[in-house]
Structure 1
């Protein structure tokens, strides 16, 4: 029986461990027939991936802090495997001091770092990925509703996610003539490595779960299933959009 993503080659950027949303995306994509290529930032993260990924999974290093690294990564992918059909960008970062303080106290270096890794990297990834992407390709990123609401303790990351979502809209317009669609998934609060870096993250997780329509938090595979839809040909009419995968939390906030 054919699967939804048979014949699709998808790059997933940002898998940190088995609890990360990016890993939920990878699991769903692989279950639906995709050939998955994972990127990792450094050797420490690669060792973590070695423990969870199926044997034979392709992994390529990519530190998105420099455009040259991103360009090199996608050139390497193209040389080894040919064109790709999609990319999932699940990368965000702010230093501890910046995350713990309010936006009013954010210093310039912390602001620039958060924007660079969390928002600008999506521009860089989209630029170089689109050059080796088949028509009807798809690019998706991960965001959170702290981009449009002042979520307690989310602070500077909310500002960076707002920039990321604006990037999605403009890049969707830029890449539309190439038949490449660009979207964002606004995932609910899930206990990932990224969330545990947020001050009072336990309160955030409990409040989010209480506001779901069924009283249960969304999980990483459920978010991954939305990513599978966006990577598939079923979503060819969807671009420049934001799809919520939070079990309705955004309805009640």
Structure 2
């Protein structure tokens, strides 16, 4: 039904083979896309580089979104190697442990600002760098969670942060729509990733999701990847600004 052959995709946020971004990378590559993959730092590189090489990524580069020089270097490399970009996938988030496990009202100003910067504003910075490389349109995606729209126990400050990410997605979609650039938020249900392991009692949420979801199945990174690959295709050009649940129907339940 759709083909990504020759399309250029940047994926930010692969940490290991359980990462949502890795599921997306596999799906993009399976449909023919050329890949640029980033890793956070030297500690992460041994986990990410083999996955990127296995997928035949054209570009493998470090990117800590707190380092403007790395961001500039990445997009210089993309410009020189490809000259354009069709798809951006942003799948990074951060909160200090105390803010994640504590009450939202007790979150420090510094902790709140840091979580917002790394989890939300980084998406906007990436879009801003990608925009000039998408003269004929493109697709920008981020990853949210249902804690943005309802209270999820032990999700702490990341609930308000993900809510801000979803709002940023809508505004960016409205601003870039005339240029043919769509913006989306993927919202998988509870699934096992390294990031999720930092949430207290997350296994209970996984069990509840698998029991109560209409399909009685948890989402997988491959489910998310398949959906993202469609959104990255030309066939999805007229879809933008939405939060897309990929959760076996779990989010429709009260």
TM (normalized to structure 2)? 0.95
Correspondence for 1:101: 102
Correspondence for 1:79: 80
Q: Distance in 2 between matches of 1:56 and 1:35?
A: 8
Moved more, 175-184 or 216-225: 175-184
Correspondence for 2:124: 123
Q: Distance in 2 between matches of 1:234 and 1:222?
A: 18
TM (normalized to structure 1)? 0.95
Please report how far the alpha carbon of residue 91 of structure 1 lies from its aligned counterpart in structure 2 after TM superposition: 0.8
Correspondence for 1:46: 45
Gaps of 5+ in 2: none
Alpha-carbon RMSD across the aligned residues, in angstroms, is: 1.5
Q: Distance in 1 between matches of 2:121 and 2:147?
A: 18
Q: Distance in 2 between matches of 1:145 and 1:139?
A: 20
Correspondence for 1:189: 190
1:52-67 equivalent positions in 2, closer than 5 A = 52-53=51-52, 54=54, 56-57=56-57, 58-67=59-68
Correspondence for 2:29: 30
Moved more, 55-64 or 166-175: 55-64
Q: Distance in 2 between matches of 1:56 and 1:46?
A: 16
Correspondence for 1:227: 228
Indicate how the Cα distance of structure 1 residues 67 and 241 shifts in structure 2: closer, same or farther if over 3 A, else same: farther
Please report how far the alpha carbon of residue 136 of structure 1 lies from its aligned counterpart in structure 2 after TM superposition: 2.5
CA contact (8 A) 2:139 2:232 kept: yes
Indicate how the Cα distance of structure 1 residues 184 and 63 shifts in structure 2: closer, same or farther if over 3 A, else same: same
Indicate how the Cα distance of structure 1 residues 55 and 219 shifts in structure 2: closer, same or farther if over 3 A, else same: closer
CA contact (8 A) 1:3 1:33 kept: no
Please report how far the alpha carbon of residue 70 of structure 1 lies from its aligned counterpart in structure 2 after TM superposition: 2.4
1:153-232 equivalent positions in 2, closer than 5 A = 153-232=154-233
Gaps of 5+ in 1: none
Question: Runs of at least 4 residues of structure 1 off by over 4 A?
Answer: none
- Spell out, residue by residue over 1:116-169, the C-alpha distance to the aligned partner (whole angstroms, 9 max, x if none): 111111110110011212413110111011001011111111111000011101
CA contact (8 A) 2:188 2:247 kept: yes
